[in-house]
Structure 1
Amino acid sequence: MSDQPFPPADAAAFIGLCAGEWMSLRSSFELSSGGDDDWHSSERGELVVRCGAPADEVEGELVVTAPGGATTTLRFQRDGALAINGASAGQWRFWPDGSMELNLSQPDGTSVQERIWFTRANLRLRSTTATDQEGTPLQGSFCTDIRRVSKPAA
């Protein structure tokens, strides 16, 4: 279990609460899919999230290792800017309800908004919506992350 305060009262507490090993289930929906069978997918995986130390201009940093082993670093600047793997990627905002919102802009004009919130210290929910430059929804996903509090049986 995390030793971070719950619910998180600020962005630094939120970022700290994200650290840990997570079992994850993501359901994705391709809204632009023309077929009846390929519009939805679900995947299960394990995420490992580590927190980096805040610096002068940085509120916090998360290093996320996905099921395939790929690592992504998210750096939350104090001015609300978000960098992913060292490149400017968008904006972040901590809401008074204890949730975090990420807004990312893609080179093709696609915008991605992800909202992350905790219902318990060991249960995190994430919803993501991608829209094109006209605001038409392209893709959505919902993810449930459960913190692993003990190692699985061998």
Structure 2
Amino acid sequence: MSDPANFPPATIEAFLRFCEGEWMSLRSRFVLGGAAEAGEGDEWHSSERGELVVRYLEGAPGGLSVGPKDQPARQLLFAADGSFSAGDQQGSWTLWPDGSLELVVQQGGSELRERIWFNKPNLRLRSTIEQPADGTPGRASFSSEIRRVSKPAAASPAAAA
């Protein structure tokens, strides 16, 4: 669980630990160019709700196990040199002074950039942009994620007396 006293997280390890939890997610996806230029109605965007489970993986500086609730998770393992691996994909990470984490992966002929930041301790935002090597518009998504938190146990009337 996050520690609001250390907000925003200032190191990659603290950032990864801060991500741990169960999140309610709303993601909007966009296809830039292609279908949007062809005038194919509303097919250029979609929105979906989901639940995301994130677990911190011990290590130096650590990793994340990320996946939809009740489905297999994907592991991202971070190295202190600014690289990370996610299965057979390799990429680089940068923790920016504004407290956001940027992940960059080259895949085939395109580049995928994801930026993750916390607006509040229990509100996480993510943007993803895929850019083909030829510079044409690709795909993009934006997610807002709210951490599920447990309510404190209510005091019973007998305990209050």
- TM-score (ref. length: structure 1): 0.88
Shift >4 Å, 4+ stretches: none
**Structure 1: runs of 5 or more not aligned:** none
Inter-partner Cα distance in structure 2 for 1:134 and 1:54: 38
1:63 maps onto 2:62 in alignment? no
Aligned residues: 146
Cα distance in 2 for partners of 1:61, 1:113 equals 18
Structure 1 Cα separation of the partners of residues 89 and 46 of structure 2:
29
Instruction: Tell me the equivalent position of 2:59.
Output: 54
Q: Which residue type is aligned with residue 91 of structure 1?
A: S
Q: Which structure's residues are more often strand, by fraction? A: 1
1:44 match: 49
Cα distance between partner residues in 1 of 2:89 and 2:31: 26
Q: Cα distance, 1:67 vs. partner?
A: 4.5
2:91 is matched with which residue?
90
Q: CA deviation at 1:76?
A: 0.9
Please give the secondary structure, in 2, of the residue aligned with 1:129: strand
Counterparts of residues 112-127 of structure 1 (less than 5 Å): 112-127=112-127
Q: Higher helix share goes to which structure?
A: 2
Query: Percent same amino acid among aligned pairs?
Result: 51
Question: Could you say which residue in structure 2 is the equivalent of 1:110?
Answer: 110
Offset of 1:2 from its aligned partner? 1.9
User: Which whole-Å CA distance do the structure 1 matches of 2:69 and 2:2 have between them?
Assistant: 21
Q: Which residue of 2 aligns with 1:2?
A: 2
1:136 CA drift (Å): 2.0
Question: What is the root-mean-square deviation in Å for CA atoms of aligned residues?
Answer: 1.6
Per the alignment, residue 76 of structure 1 pairs with: 78
| CA deviation string 1:47-89 (max 9, x = no partner) | 000001013xxx210001224613110111111111002x342
| TM-score (norm. length: structure 2) | 0.85
Tell me the distance in 2 between the aligned counterparts of 1:88 and 1:145: 24
